[in-house]
Structure 1
């Protein structure tokens, strides 16, 4: 679906003026071309500006896209001082900055095909990436001359996710942690194990940062260097796809120096059978999945470098193969293969991710896995 009418699918939107519209989550949203109306689950709603096309792209008002995906009125904003637009949506913080092709979703960079632009006092951004991050498929509907955002209804096996916050602030360390707490998973033993592991990892991480902050503060008193307050932030993202739940935990810290560090944990849960899924288990027993994934990653790296969107290490540090424990997650119609910062690219390239269509992988995939996601 990614290649289908590519210039039309790369939809964009602008920040509009608030008019008291309420938020409503939807399974189906349509934005017709040259219209100030849109529909949510078949109900027609009004906008204060019209959609339009330019250079083969369809532009949709930013604020109303946020509303249609479930954001509240106060959760969509624009900061004119730094030319940045924000959406708070389903536990995600989405940030887009004028002139940058990187959309930030919970501090993870997602590469867009165009940079946000400003026109007539409004910000225009690619819509597809935000919609897809929320689990929506984005298509061009020729029958209605509209952009269509659609999402399958969640499986009844999907568990509920609550948020546990751990917050503190001292003169040496700022801590702001949000952790997922899983309930309603069929396998209660796995549920308890995951909740305990996530909490244990977070508290250990906090203790490590507290110790380091104290040591750095003490060392700075010798006068060799000034002490800068350390910080630790943790957020999470959930991506449900039928009977699979991807759970991603992102931590960012600052302990001095030019910039902080970012690192992630991935859990891919078969919610129907109550177990974790490894990358190897996605494929049939006789399939060498590395020989399928490696060429696709290499091809996307080459395309990204040729376009100038992102740069990767060369020579001995260049990408050669995925690992036996390669991080990944399922997002709708795609397998997303993930790498850490500095693993195959410099810091400025963020977390490299490579989306591979499941339709391309289906002949090699385990039938039980296919039934979980389709």
Structure 2
């Protein structure tokens, strides 16, 4: 009996170790700034652990932030690092302020990231950016990044769902309910899935950024479908 008890304890121990080893990557929060920077604040997760996996994830996070700080044609981004983008954003503000000294309010950029979900198969990260470059109102934009936990490879939306057309029909009632709960009314006959979909503790989240499907006044539209209901359409296991 004692021998069996020891065997159970040993097996349980190795099972625990195996589960811990499944997640080769963890995350820490970092703040990024540069000298003389007072208008850009960045707080994001940084992947650590397995270097090959972490480097892929961190590279995609970096690309997302560089794009968020870029002013002008998105096809003409030249910055190679977040720090370089912060410096460029500050320089753009100084130039604009010099050209229009009496009309330009202070610019600002706030970028925050969070790990929404992490399992043995998928890791989902949200990057929220708010930039104000002197217009009537600032620009809020949220980007979801999904990664294969085992490899760090970025997952396209088309690879999250096993049947896009069937999932659209399935998701439409949840979308309509989200509009109803927020007292929003507009034409939803031509329903399309959003650019941003990700896993979260509440289920798979669908998010429409401002202007994506409705006027600015509507704001961000977001809703979650529980995993137990969406499971037939999901490629990745939520456990």
Q: CA 1:168/1:191 → structure 2, altered by over 3 Å: closer, same or farther?
A: closer
| Residue of structure 2 equivalent to 1:242 | 119
Shift of 1:349: 3.4
Shift of 1:228: 0.8
**For 1:326-367, what per-residue CA distance to the aligned partner results, in whole angstroms no more than 9, with x for missing partners?**
22111135111122211123334332112122222322333x
Higher helix share: 2
Whether contact under 8 Å (1:312, 1:344) holds in the other structure is no
2:61 equivalent to 1:184: no
Whether contact under 8 Å (1:333, 1:357) holds in the other structure is yes
| Residue of structure 2 equivalent to 1:349 | 218
Shift of 1:310: 4.4
Shift of 1:294: 4.8
2:230 equivalent to 1:361: yes
Q: How many residues align?
A: 203
| Residue of structure 2 equivalent to 1:321 | 192
Distance 1:168 1:273 in 2: 31
2:92 equivalent to 1:212: yes
Distance 1:154 1:356 in 2: 28
RMSD: 3.1
**For 1:246-299, what per-residue CA distance to the aligned partner results, in whole angstroms no more than 9, with x for missing partners?**
111111111113321112232212213543333322333xx3x233235523x3
Whether contact under 8 Å (1:305, 1:312) holds in the other structure is yes
Distance 1:179 1:269 in 2: 16
Whether contact under 8 Å (1:290, 1:321) holds in the other structure is no
| Residue of structure 2 equivalent to 1:296 | 171
Q: CA 1:330/1:195 → structure 2, altered by over 3 Å: closer, same or farther?
A: same
- Consecutive unaligned residues of structure 1, counting only runs of 5 or more, are 1-152
Which SS does the other structure have where 1:275 is aligned? Answer: coil
- Which of residues 16, 20, 31 is equivalent to 1:165? 31
Which SS does the other structure have where 1:164 is aligned? Answer: strand
Which SS does the other structure have where 1:276 is aligned? Answer: coil
2:58 equivalent to 1:195: yes
Distance 2:20 2:215 in 1: 37
**For 1:3-50, what per-residue CA distance to the aligned partner results, in whole angstroms no more than 9, with x for missing partners?**
xxxxxxxxxxxxxxxxxxxxxxxxxxxxxxxxxxxxxxxxxxxxxxxx
Shift of 1:210: 2.2
Distance 1:197 1:292 in 2: 27
Q: CA 1:163/1:333 → structure 2, altered by over 3 Å: closer, same or farther?
A: closer
Whether contact under 8 Å (1:233, 1:252) holds in the other structure is yes
Which SS does the other structure have where 1:342 is aligned? Answer: coil
Q: CA 1:303/1:347 → structure 2, altered by over 3 Å: closer, same or farther?
A: same
Higher strand share: 1
| Residue of structure 1 equivalent to 2:110 | 233
- Consecutive unaligned residues of structure 2, counting only runs of 5 or more, are 1-18, 67-81
Higher relative contact order (CA 8 A, sep 6+): 2
